[in-house]
Chains A and B, each alone.
Chain A
Protein backbone atom coordinates (compact mmCIF):
# COMPACT_ATOMS: atom_id res chain seq x y z
CA UNK A 1 0.00 0.00 0.00
CA UNK A 2 1.05 3.59 -0.53
CA UNK A 3 1.29 5.91 2.48
CA UNK A 4 1.23 9.69 2.56
CA UNK A 5 3.76 11.19 4.93
CA UNK A 6 3.87 14.74 6.32
CA UNK A 7 7.02 16.08 7.95
CA UNK A 8 8.02 19.17 9.91
CA UNK A 9 11.04 21.29 10.81
CA UNK A 10 14.39 19.45 10.56
CA UNK A 11 12.75 16.31 9.13
CA UNK A 12 11.14 18.44 6.43
CA UNK A 13 14.54 19.74 5.37
CA UNK A 14 15.90 16.19 5.13
CA UNK A 15 12.98 14.30 3.57
CA UNK A 16 10.74 16.99 2.08
CA UNK A 17 7.47 18.32 3.49
CA UNK A 18 5.31 15.55 2.02
CA UNK A 19 6.11 12.32 0.25
CA UNK A 20 4.56 8.98 -0.58
CA UNK A 21 6.12 5.64 0.21
CA UNK A 22 5.19 2.09 -0.76
CA UNK A 23 5.02 -0.29 2.20
CA UNK A 24 3.57 -3.73 2.94
CA UNK A 25 -0.04 -3.99 4.14
CA UNK A 26 -0.35 -3.87 7.94
CA UNK A 27 2.94 -1.99 8.10
CA UNK A 28 3.87 -0.76 11.58
CA UNK A 29 5.52 2.55 12.46
CA UNK A 30 8.74 0.64 13.19
CA UNK A 31 8.65 -0.94 9.73
CA UNK A 32 7.89 2.43 8.14
CA UNK A 33 10.93 3.92 9.86
CA UNK A 34 13.13 1.08 8.55
CA UNK A 35 11.75 1.59 5.06
CA UNK A 36 12.52 5.32 5.11
CA UNK A 37 16.01 4.66 6.45
CA UNK A 38 16.63 2.09 3.70
CA UNK A 39 15.91 4.82 1.15
CA UNK A 40 17.55 7.68 3.06
CA UNK A 41 20.18 6.21 5.45
CA UNK A 42 21.17 9.65 6.81
CA UNK A 43 17.71 9.99 8.35
CA UNK A 44 18.29 7.14 10.84
CA UNK A 45 19.52 9.23 13.75
CA UNK A 46 16.84 11.85 13.42
CA UNK A 47 13.96 9.37 12.93
CA UNK A 48 15.01 7.54 16.09
CA UNK A 49 14.26 10.62 18.19
CA UNK A 50 11.03 11.53 16.38
CA UNK A 51 7.48 10.81 17.46
CA UNK A 52 4.87 9.69 14.95
CA UNK A 53 1.22 10.69 14.79
CA UNK A 54 -1.89 9.42 12.99
CA UNK A 55 -5.27 11.14 13.15
CA UNK A 56 -3.94 13.82 15.51
CA UNK A 57 -2.75 11.29 18.07
CA UNK A 58 0.74 10.15 18.97
CA UNK A 59 1.24 6.47 18.13
CA UNK A 60 3.92 3.97 19.13
CA UNK A 61 6.31 1.83 17.10
CA UNK A 62 3.95 -1.17 17.15
CA UNK A 63 0.97 0.73 15.74
CA UNK A 64 -0.26 -0.68 12.44
CA UNK A 65 -0.97 1.87 9.75
CA UNK A 66 -4.09 1.65 7.61
CA UNK A 67 -4.06 2.45 3.91
CA UNK A 68 -5.83 5.82 3.98
CA UNK A 69 -4.12 7.20 7.06
CA UNK A 70 -1.69 10.08 6.87
CA UNK A 71 1.41 9.67 8.99
CA UNK A 72 3.00 12.76 10.55
CA UNK A 73 6.68 12.63 11.56
CA UNK A 74 7.28 14.85 14.57
CA UNK A 75 10.84 15.85 15.49
CA UNK A 76 11.69 16.84 19.08
CA UNK A 77 9.77 19.94 20.10
CA UNK A 78 11.58 23.26 20.24
CA UNK A 79 8.82 25.73 20.92
CA UNK A 80 8.84 28.41 23.57
Chain B
Protein backbone atom coordinates (compact mmCIF):
# COMPACT_ATOMS: atom_id res chain seq x y z
CA UNK B 1 0.00 0.00 0.00
CA UNK B 2 2.93 2.36 0.58
CA UNK B 3 3.59 2.48 -3.15
CA UNK B 4 0.27 4.03 -4.08
CA UNK B 5 0.42 6.85 -6.59
CA UNK B 6 -0.85 10.29 -5.56
CA UNK B 7 -4.63 10.82 -5.67
CA UNK B 8 -5.50 7.23 -4.94
CA UNK B 9 -7.25 5.44 -2.18
CA UNK B 10 -6.50 1.80 -1.47
CA UNK B 11 -7.76 -0.58 -4.16
CA UNK B 12 -10.27 -2.23 -1.88
CA UNK B 13 -10.69 0.18 0.99
CA UNK B 14 -12.84 -0.80 3.91
CA UNK B 15 -15.01 2.03 5.19
CA UNK B 16 -17.22 0.24 7.73
CA UNK B 17 -16.16 -2.62 9.98
CA UNK B 18 -17.51 -4.68 12.84
CA UNK B 19 -13.99 -5.56 13.95
CA UNK B 20 -11.58 -3.41 16.00
CA UNK B 21 -9.93 -0.79 13.78
CA UNK B 22 -6.33 -1.66 12.97
CA UNK B 23 -4.68 1.73 13.61
CA UNK B 24 -1.18 0.41 12.90
CA UNK B 25 -2.24 -0.85 9.49
CA UNK B 26 -4.04 2.39 8.69
CA UNK B 27 -0.94 4.41 9.52
CA UNK B 28 1.37 2.01 7.70
CA UNK B 29 -0.71 2.31 4.53
CA UNK B 30 -0.36 6.11 4.63
CA UNK B 31 3.42 6.17 4.24
CA UNK B 32 4.38 7.70 0.91
CA UNK B 33 7.74 8.99 -0.29
CA UNK B 34 6.24 12.36 -1.29
CA UNK B 35 4.37 12.86 1.98
CA UNK B 36 6.06 15.04 4.58
CA UNK B 37 3.15 14.92 6.99
CA UNK B 38 0.73 12.21 8.02
CA UNK B 39 -2.21 13.05 10.30
CA UNK B 40 -4.09 10.31 12.10
CA UNK B 41 -7.36 11.08 13.90
CA UNK B 42 -9.10 8.57 16.16
CA UNK B 43 -12.58 9.23 17.47
CA UNK B 44 -12.81 7.33 20.75
CA UNK B 45 -15.64 6.24 23.01
CA UNK B 46 -16.00 8.35 26.18
CA UNK B 47 -17.14 6.82 29.45
CA UNK B 48 -19.48 9.73 30.22
CA UNK B 49 -22.00 12.00 28.53
CA UNK B 50 -23.87 14.97 30.01
CA UNK B 51 -22.96 13.87 33.51
CA UNK B 52 -24.08 10.28 33.03
CA UNK B 53 -21.77 7.25 33.19
CA UNK B 54 -21.72 5.43 29.84
CA UNK B 55 -21.59 1.63 29.99
CA UNK B 56 -21.11 1.14 26.24
CA UNK B 57 -22.10 2.53 22.85
CA UNK B 58 -23.91 0.71 20.09
CA UNK B 59 -23.22 1.96 16.56
CA UNK B 60 -25.43 1.04 13.65
CA UNK B 61 -25.32 2.02 10.01
CA UNK B 62 -27.04 1.80 6.68
CA UNK B 63 -23.81 0.24 5.45
CA UNK B 64 -24.05 0.40 1.63
CA UNK B 65 -24.95 4.09 1.67
CA UNK B 66 -22.44 4.92 4.42
CA UNK B 67 -19.66 3.28 2.39
CA UNK B 68 -20.70 5.17 -0.71
CA UNK B 69 -20.76 8.51 1.13
CA UNK B 70 -17.45 7.97 2.96
CA UNK B 71 -15.78 6.93 -0.29
CA UNK B 72 -17.00 10.15 -1.95
CA UNK B 73 -15.82 12.27 1.00
CA UNK B 74 -12.35 10.71 1.01
CA UNK B 75 -11.97 11.04 -2.76
CA UNK B 76 -13.13 14.66 -2.66
CA UNK B 77 -10.52 15.43 0.02
CA UNK B 78 -7.78 13.73 -2.02
CA UNK B 79 -8.58 15.93 -5.01
CA UNK B 80 -9.20 19.13 -3.03
CA UNK B 81 -5.91 19.01 -1.08
CA UNK B 82 -3.85 17.02 -3.57
CA UNK B 83 -3.23 14.36 -0.92
CA UNK B 84 -0.78 11.52 -1.34
CA UNK B 85 -3.10 9.24 0.58
CA UNK B 86 -6.33 9.30 2.58
CA UNK B 87 -8.47 6.66 4.22
CA UNK B 88 -11.18 6.42 6.82
CA UNK B 89 -12.90 3.58 8.60
CA UNK B 90 -15.83 3.59 11.01
CA UNK B 91 -16.62 0.79 13.39
CA UNK B 92 -20.15 -0.45 14.11
CA UNK B 93 -21.53 -2.71 16.82
CA UNK B 94 -20.99 -2.58 20.57
CA UNK B 95 -18.02 -0.50 21.78
CA UNK B 96 -16.74 0.18 25.28
CA UNK B 97 -14.87 3.24 26.56
CA UNK B 98 -11.47 3.94 24.99
CA UNK B 99 -12.34 1.95 21.86
CA UNK B 100 -11.66 3.63 18.55
CA UNK B 101 -14.99 4.26 16.80
CA UNK B 102 -13.67 6.05 13.75
CA UNK B 103 -10.25 6.75 12.27
CA UNK B 104 -9.10 9.08 9.50
CA UNK B 105 -5.61 9.23 8.05
CA UNK B 106 -4.33 11.81 5.57
CA UNK B 107 -0.91 12.20 3.99
CA UNK B 108 0.37 15.32 2.23
CA UNK B 109 3.66 16.92 1.32
CA UNK B 110 3.05 19.40 4.17
CA UNK B 111 1.33 19.15 7.57
CA UNK B 112 -1.07 22.08 7.14
CA UNK B 113 -2.91 20.42 4.29
CA UNK B 114 -2.80 17.02 6.01
CA UNK B 115 -4.48 18.54 9.11
CA UNK B 116 -7.06 20.49 7.11
CA UNK B 117 -8.01 17.55 4.94
CA UNK B 118 -8.27 15.26 7.95
CA UNK B 119 -10.67 17.62 9.72
CA UNK B 120 -12.71 18.03 6.53
CA UNK B 121 -13.12 14.25 6.25
CA UNK B 122 -14.15 13.61 9.86
CA UNK B 123 -16.51 16.62 9.94
CA UNK B 124 -18.31 15.48 6.80
CA UNK B 125 -18.47 11.83 7.91
CA UNK B 126 -20.03 12.83 11.22
CA UNK B 127 -22.66 14.97 9.49
CA UNK B 128 -23.41 12.97 6.35
CA UNK B 129 -22.67 9.26 6.74
CA UNK B 130 -25.73 7.26 7.87
CA UNK B 131 -24.16 6.02 11.09
CA UNK B 132 -25.78 6.37 14.51
CA UNK B 133 -24.67 5.79 18.06
CA UNK B 134 -26.85 4.77 20.96
CA UNK B 135 -25.46 5.44 24.42
CA UNK B 136 -26.25 2.82 27.04
CA UNK B 137 -25.80 4.25 30.54
CA UNK B 138 -24.84 2.59 33.78
CA UNK B 139 -28.29 3.52 35.18
CA UNK B 140 -29.96 1.18 32.65
CA UNK B 141 -31.29 3.89 30.31
CA UNK B 142 -30.22 4.46 26.73
CA UNK B 143 -30.42 7.29 24.22
CA UNK B 144 -29.79 7.63 20.49
CA UNK B 145 -27.45 10.45 19.53
CA UNK B 146 -29.46 13.45 18.38
CA UNK B 147 -26.89 14.69 15.90
CA UNK B 148 -23.22 15.42 15.80
Contacts and interface: CB of A to CB of B under 8 A. Distances in A.
B128 A77 contact: yes
B129 A79 contact: yes
Contact of A78 (B62, B65, B145): B145
B69 to A, nearest CB: 9
Contacts of B60: 8-9
A56 B68 contact: yes
Interface residues of B, number: 27
Interface footprint category on A: 10 to 19
B40 interface: no
A38 interface: no
A13 B127 contact: no
Contacts of A80: 43, 90, 101-102, 122, 125-126, 131, 133, 148
Q: Which among B60, B68, B132, B134 has the greatest number of chain A C-beta atoms within 10 A? A: B132
Given A9-B60, A53-B65, A72-B62, A77 B132 contact: yes
14 contacts: A8-B61, A9-B134, A9-B144, A10-B132, A53-B62, A56-B65, A72-B62, A77-B131, A78-B145, A78-B147, A78-B148, A79-B90, A79-B101, A80-B125
